Amino acid sequence: MTGSARPGPVGDHPGHPPARALRPAGTGRRARPLIGITGYVEPASWAVWRDVPASLVPQAYVRSVTAAGGRAVVLPPDDLDADVVDVLDGLLLAGGADVGPERYGQPVDPRTEPRPDRDAGESALLAAAFAADLPVLGVCRGMQLLAVAYGGTLHQHLPDVVGHDRHRPAPGVYGAHPVRFAPGSRTATVLAGVERVNSYHHQGVADPGGLTVTGWADDGVVEAVEDPARRFLLGVQWHPENDDDPRPVTALVRAARPG
């Protein structure tokens, strides 16, 4: 099962260079590769403050990047420009709320909860990352955003398709299920020996667009996608940052090491 032969990603910035365009070399040296993690804006509470709009990501993302030898930088939603990509060595598209269905030509299902600010900011970051051939990892929502950027579409409510809710059993409860990977793919190499993953999502990839599907759950849900023409572009539907062995994050950091 593979994506179509479409030549590459599409999105808000159709004039970006092709996949093999090279990123200008940085002038400084860093001991650790700098990994941008896309953040949320959500009400948060701490100390005496309650329900204050805050830019945040779960610490598990930061911890997994640090453990892999990277330096994490949280990127709040911002669509004014994507110049920050010039100083990054890799980009991690974090999970979270749904991708807006207008981006893949569908009306909004009542159960879809989009975040237009994230869609706009992350699409701009992706366009710049594609132009720079920056290593990119998409996690959960991040994988879905990659599929949309490559011209694909999503299932807006997965239980309607698969007939169960094992991918998101209850609010705040992760599911777990078997997974298999396409032999010979980058995904299979990165995740050799992994047979079961966690999950927390109610949407999924319907059409991967120009991406290649390289992982599936036991019910056929798409669990991994990649673009083998790029230096490193991988999407996973589960949450490796919460695993004891977050191999996709480790692979991103390794791919992002300068030189």
pLDDT band, residue 3 (cuts 50/70/90): very low
Q: Is the pLDDT of residue 100 over 70?
A: yes
Residue type, 224: A
* Model pLDDT, residue 10: 58
- Residue-range domains of the chain with CATH: 34-256 (3.40.50.880)
Q: What is the pLDDT of residues 34-74, one digit of tens each?
A: 999 999 999 999 999 999 999 999 999 999 999 999 999 99
* Model pLDDT, residue 231: 95
Give catalytic residues, as residue numbers: 140, 239, 241
Higher pLDDT pick, 258 / 17: 258
Q: Is the pLDDT of residue 12 over 50?
A: no
Q: Is the pLDDT of residue 22 over 80?
A: no
Region 175-196 average pLDDT: 96
* φ/ψ of residue 2, rounded to 5: -135, 165
Q: Is the pLDDT of residue 25 over 80?
A: no
**Torsion 6-10-16-22 (CA) sign:** negative
* Model pLDDT, residue 28: 56
Spatial CA neighbour of 199 closest among 227, 164, 161: 164
Q: What is the pLDDT of residues 82-93, one digit of tens each?
A: 999 999 999 999
Q: Which of 28-32, 47-51, 99-103, 169-173 is the least confident region?
A: 28-32
Residue 215, SS3 per DSSP: strand
d(CA 197, CA 73): 26
Q: Is the pLDDT of residue 15 over 80?
A: no
Do 248 and 93 touch, CB atoms closer than 8 A? no
Q: Is the pLDDT of residue 18 over 90?
A: no
Region 160-182 average pLDDT: 95
Higher pLDDT pick, 176 / 2: 176
Q: Is the pLDDT of residue 237 over 60?
A: yes
Give the global pTM.
0.89
Half-sphere exposure of 73 (CA within 13 A, CB side): 13
Q: Is the pLDDT of residue 13 over 80?
A: no
* Model pLDDT, residue 29: 65
d(CA 150, CA 168): 25
* Model pLDDT, residue 117: 96
